[in-house]
Amino acid sequence: MSDPKVIVIGAGISGLSTAWWLAEQGISVEVWESKARIGGKIESTSNSGYLTESAAGLLVNFRNEIDQLIKRCNLTQSKRQRPGDLKRYVLHDNRLCCVPMTIGGMARSHLLSRRGKLRLLGEGLIFHHGEPGESVSQFIQRRFGREMLHTAIDPFVSGTLASDPDLAEAASVLPRLKALEEQYGSITNGILVNKLWKRRRINKADTFSFTGGMSQLINAMADHPGIHIRKNISLQRVERNRNGWQLHAYTSMGELNESCQQLVITAPADVAGRLLAPLDRNLGQLLSSIEYAPMAVLHMGLERRQVRHPLDGTGFLVAKRAGVKLNGNLWMSSLFPQRAPAGKILLTSYLGGARHPELLQLPDEQLIEQTQTELSRLLGIEVDPDYIRLHRHSQGLPLYHGHYQAKLAQINIRLHQYSGLHLCGNYAGGVSVRERIYQGKLATKQILQTAKRKQNNLYGIEQPKPYSTIPV
């Protein structure tokens, strides 16, 4: 098989992951980035003894592919594990309460009423499967009851994914739980089978970051000798040509026209839609219709002795019913002690999302003051922070709202017509760093299949059309 030239658009985690897996296969790959820096929203900053993240602050892994990448990037010694004894909190009845991470633990917890506990324990007897496209709220209420939704799942979906459980599609947001239901008839039965018989790593998530923060992962992937990164390139137009794709772009040196056999677009959905609309109006419209939630990440550094809460956990999430304009707060210096100077702590708040998008319209001072007031009340903070850093993301995270899998299926149908064109953005397949790395591996597999098909066609061998990078 000949060595196909591949151009990847976007040097965020999705683009770099795809490029890294391609380079590992000996494929010639270029990554085009419109900005002067790589990493997308991921950016680690060290200042005044604090190490902060502009977006993702850690990686929760249960996939062997991520272990493989970390080992190949020589990052094993740089991993910083989360302490295993940390609790998880949720704001419940106006106070922070510890949340058990098992069904049995929830059944013994004071977070649920007696009726709620009985409903939770009866999940294994629920045999009805929901309708296609059911929301997270519908799915969790059907399986576990209303109390479980409001106490545990709503805070996770709203706080971690910046989404709305009433609108988010369960199959897209909670694919592992939906898969357990489909395969074993219930989530409880599926967990028991995996734990007692299969002993799969699905039950053993590994949570960690790196000595230099998440940017260390970005830089390690970008340093692969098989990857050539070109910055400050603004792609304007995409056209098909005889051998693949013709790209028209602007650079600081003027116009750039270049061709490639395989094109991977990892840019946000609206950017991908704009680029592909002249080629396929329906595909462009489908991509442009994907919504994003605005997000803000606010870091505060304080004296440890001035905070009354023991901070013996990962942080806390906030349920919608709590009425607090805060999605969640990570205690980064509890997760990774090296994130703050000696005697100090680092608290990271997540604001906005689908629940409170209006917060991103507030001036910095008002947003900081409002957050500080809430944290002072909940954690017993007695002084003003001595370190503050605020990041705003107008397109924080894609919202998997509505009949999202059906939309992805329509995108796939359109994409199948264009051999050598691949999409690998975080609007499909999961938003976590783990899933972006894994989706890059899947994209690489498809690129190799497409290249093989083109090579075989030179000899008159018929091959099926490749499937899309976007999973359905």
Read off the amino acid at residue 186: S
Residues in the chain: 472
The Cα 294–Cα 12 span in angstroms is 18
The Cα 68–Cα 20 span in angstroms is 12
User: What pLDDT was estimated at residue 199?
Assistant: 53
Residues 60-113 pLDDT 10s: 999 999 999 999 999 999 999 999 889 999 999 889 999 988 888 888 888 999
Residues 410-437 pLDDT 10s: 999 999 999 999 999 999 999 999 999 9
User: What pLDDT was estimated at residue 228?
Assistant: 97
Nearest to 350 by CA among 389, 431, 388, 296: 296
Cα–Cα distances in angstroms (integers) from residue 103 to residues 139, 188, 200, 438, in the given order: 16, 8, 18, 28
CB 129 within 8 A of CB 154: no
User: What pLDDT was estimated at residue 51?
Assistant: 98
Domains by residue range for the chain, with CATH: 5-40+213-290+401-457 (3.50.50.60), 44-62+74-84+292-398 (3.90.660.20), 99-203 (1.10.3110.10)
End-to-end, the C-alpha distance of the chain in Å comes to 29
The Cα 388–Cα 380 span in angstroms is 18
CB 315 within 8 A of CB 338: no
What value does the mean pLDDT of the chain take?
91
> Going by DSSP bridges, is the β-strand pair 344-352/292-303 parallel, antiparallel, or unpaired?
antiparallel
Q: Kindly state the average pLDDT of the residues 119-135.
A: 88
The Cα 134–Cα 165 span in angstroms is 10
The residue ranges of DSSP E strands in 1-153, in sequence order, are 5-9, 28-32, 44-47, 50-53, 59-61, 79-81, 87-92, 95-98
The residue ranges of DSSP E strands in 185-291, in sequence order, are 206-210, 227-230, 234-240, 245-251, 254-260, 262-265
Question: Which residues, in sequence order, are bridge partners of residue 51?
Answer: 46
Angle at 359 between CA 304 and CA 55, to 5 degrees: 60
Nearest to 392 by CA among 294, 293, 296: 296
Q: Kindly state the average pLDDT of the residues 261-278.
A: 97
pLDDT band at 457 (very low <50, low <70, confident <90, very high): low
DSSP readout, 345-359?
Answer: EEEEEEEETTT-GGG
Nearest to 135 by CA among 443, 428, 404: 404
> Beta-carbon neighbour count of residue 464 at 10 Å?
7
pLDDT band at 145 (very low <50, low <70, confident <90, very high): very high
User: What pLDDT was estimated at residue 4?
Assistant: 52
User: What pLDDT was estimated at residue 130?
Assistant: 83
Read off the amino acid at residue 454: K
Helices (H) and strands (E) in the chain, counts: 17, 20
Residues 5-53 pLDDT 10s: 899 999 999 999 999 999 999 998 999 999 999 999 999 999 999 999 9
Q: Is 106 exposed, middle or buried (0-12, 13-18, 19+ CB in 10 A)?
A: buried
User: What pLDDT was estimated at residue 358?
Assistant: 96
Q: Is 93 exposed, middle or buried (0-12, 13-18, 19+ CB in 10 A)?
A: exposed
CB 351 within 8 A of CB 370: no
Q: Give 460's DSSP letter.
A: T
Residues 179-234 pLDDT 10s: 999 989 889 888 888 776 655 544 468 999 999 999 999 999 999 999 999 999 99
Phi-psi sector, 455: left (phi>0), alpha (psi -120 to 50), beta? alpha
Nearest to 230 by CA among 29, 39, 27, 30: 30
User: What pLDDT was estimated at residue 198?
Assistant: 54
Whether the per-residue pLDDT at 459 is higher than 90: the answer is no
Q: Give 66's DSSP letter.
A: H
